[in-house]
């Protein structure tokens, strides 16, 4: 009965998308986040949302890095950059959430426009560049909160920095981790985001010789919860393996593949639609991320050989998309763009449909499906 209701909400939302998409992307996004924060503070509303929309099933419960998840569907960093949704995120069906990305210092964001939709290509041009009110402000918002699902905090370097040197950048990131560690906010994991392609005056952690000192400094903090790393998808396979080799020398629990697509020649784009935004800077979420993310999930699963958990992110719009990432090697998955195209109830829809896919293939539990297709050719 609940599954039918959840899908009916989705059908209703999708019927309204021609009207919804008339609104500019960034104001619509900000309005939704503000409403989410308001609803989370109204007594009874989060419980009512859970009663109406949350779908649970024994086959979806899983554990990764010692953290218990009611389901493997997460909200990725980049959506709730100011941590306004944790009180209600479980009520729309998510099994976990990465808030942020949060930076140590504040940044008002890159020049407008920062979010633009390509409706037919099912993608958004994103150019926020770690827009953030800063770690201290976000921690004040979260102080005293408790949540029904695991909430992690995604952390990146401040954009811009007073000086563009690696010691300055590393110290900036370490200070942000230190504030989060010492805040008393009950995060379930910490996430280092090295993958944003929209930064000014780039300091890159895509090279092992630059990533290694940062990881050493973060690990010296003796974080009380597991460390995940958000990875880029624009690197070559060889460069990705080199980064993974560096990461595996440290007590990192999981890697997330990945972040925005930088390749404007990806076949997921409709060329005529892409041409309308050709002059704008930024990179792409949603469908153009899908194939490369699928590939890198499989690559990382095979290369890590169980040393790291893999979290798949990019181009997940349905249970079938999530299931494919799981079969390729993802123990958990995250999404963002699907909440825009399919509706905020989409994690509940995925959780409603995923058990049937597992049963079809003879799996009693989602963990049994992880990596079953990883041995197939990349």
Average pLDDT, the chain: 95
pTM for the model stands at 0.95
Asked whether residue 201 carries a pLDDT value surpassing 80, the answer given is no
pLDDT (tens digit per residue) in 285-314: 999 999 999 999 999 999 999 999 999 999
Asked whether residue 163 carries a pLDDT value surpassing 90, the answer given is no
| 261 φ/ψ angles, rounded to the nearest 5 degrees | -80, 130
Beta strands in 67-201 (DSSP E): 67-69, 73-75, 96-103, 115-118, 123-126, 151-156, 189-193
As a whole number of angstroms, the distance between CA 166 and CA 153 comes to 22
Q: Would you call 264 helix, strand, or coil by DSSP?
A: coil
Q: What percent of the chain has pLDDT over 90?
A: 90
For residue 65, which of 196, 187, 182 has the smallest C-alpha distance? 187
Specify the DSSP element, H or E, that contains 10: helix 2-20
- Where residue 202 falls among pLDDT bands split at 50, 70, 90? confident
Task: Classify strands 309-313 and 332-335 as parallel, antiparallel or unpaired.
Answer: parallel
225-235: average pLDDT: 96
The CA–CA distances, whole Å, from 40 to 18, 46, 48, 323 equal 28, 6, 11, 30
- Where residue 377 falls among pLDDT bands split at 50, 70, 90? confident
196-205: average pLDDT: 83
The CATH code for residues 2-369 is 3.20.20.70
pLDDT (tens digit per residue) in 239-279: 999 999 999 999 999 999 999 999 999 999 999 999 999 89
The CA–CA distances, whole Å, from 66 to 55, 317, 334 equal 23, 27, 18
Domains of the chain, by residue range, sit at: 2-369
The CA–CA distances, whole Å, from 245 to 10, 39, 239, 374 equal 42, 44, 10, 19
pLDDT of residue 378: 62
């Amino acid at each position: 009965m609940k599954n039918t209701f959840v899908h009916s909400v989705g059908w209703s939302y999708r019927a309204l998308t021609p009207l919804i998409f008339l609104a500019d992307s960034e104001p619509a996004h900000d309005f939704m986040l503000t409403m989410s924060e308001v609803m989370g503070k109204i007594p009874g509303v989060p419980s009512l949302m859970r009663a109406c929309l949350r779908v649970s099933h024994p086959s979806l419960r899983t554990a990764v890095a010692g953290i218990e998840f009611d389901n493997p569907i997460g909200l990725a960093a980049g959506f709730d950059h100011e941590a306004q949704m944790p009180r209600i995120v479980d009520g729309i069906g998510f099994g976990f959430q990465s808030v942020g990305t949060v930076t140590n210092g504040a940044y008002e964001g890159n020049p407008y426009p920062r979010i633009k939709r390509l409706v037919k290509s099912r993608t958004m041009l994103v150019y926020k560049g770690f827009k953030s009110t800063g770690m201290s402000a976000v921690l004040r918002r979260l102080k005293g909160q408790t949540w029904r699902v695991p909430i992690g905090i995604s952390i990146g370097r401040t954009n811009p920095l007073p000086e563009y040197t690696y010691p300055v950048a590393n110290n900036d990131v370490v200070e942000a981790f230190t504030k989060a560690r010492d805040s008393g906010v009950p995060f379930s994991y910490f996430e280092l985001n090295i993958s944003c392609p929209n930064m000014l005056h780039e300091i890159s952690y895509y090279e092992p010789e630059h990533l290694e000192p940062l990881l050493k400094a973060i690990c010296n903090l003796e974080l009380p919860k597991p460390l995940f790393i958000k990875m880029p998808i624009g690197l070559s396979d060889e460069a990705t393996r080199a980064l993974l080799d560096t990461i595996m020398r440290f007590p990192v629990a999981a890697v997330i593949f990945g972040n925005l697509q930088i390749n404007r020649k990806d076949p997921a784009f409709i060329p005529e639609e892409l041409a309308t935004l050709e002059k704008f800077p930024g990179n792409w979420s949603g469908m153009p991320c899908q194939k490369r993310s699928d590939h890198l999930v499989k690559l990382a699963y095979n290369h890590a050989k169980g040393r790291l958990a893999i979290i798949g992110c990019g181009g997940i719009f349905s249970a079938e998309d999530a299931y494919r990432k799981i079969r390729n090697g993802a123990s958990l998955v995250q999404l963002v763009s699907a909440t825009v195209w399919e509706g905020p109830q989409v994690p509940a829809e995925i959780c409603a449909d995923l058990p049937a896919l597992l049963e079809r293939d003879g799996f009693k539990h989602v963990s049994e499906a992880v990596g079953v297709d990883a041995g197939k050719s990349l």
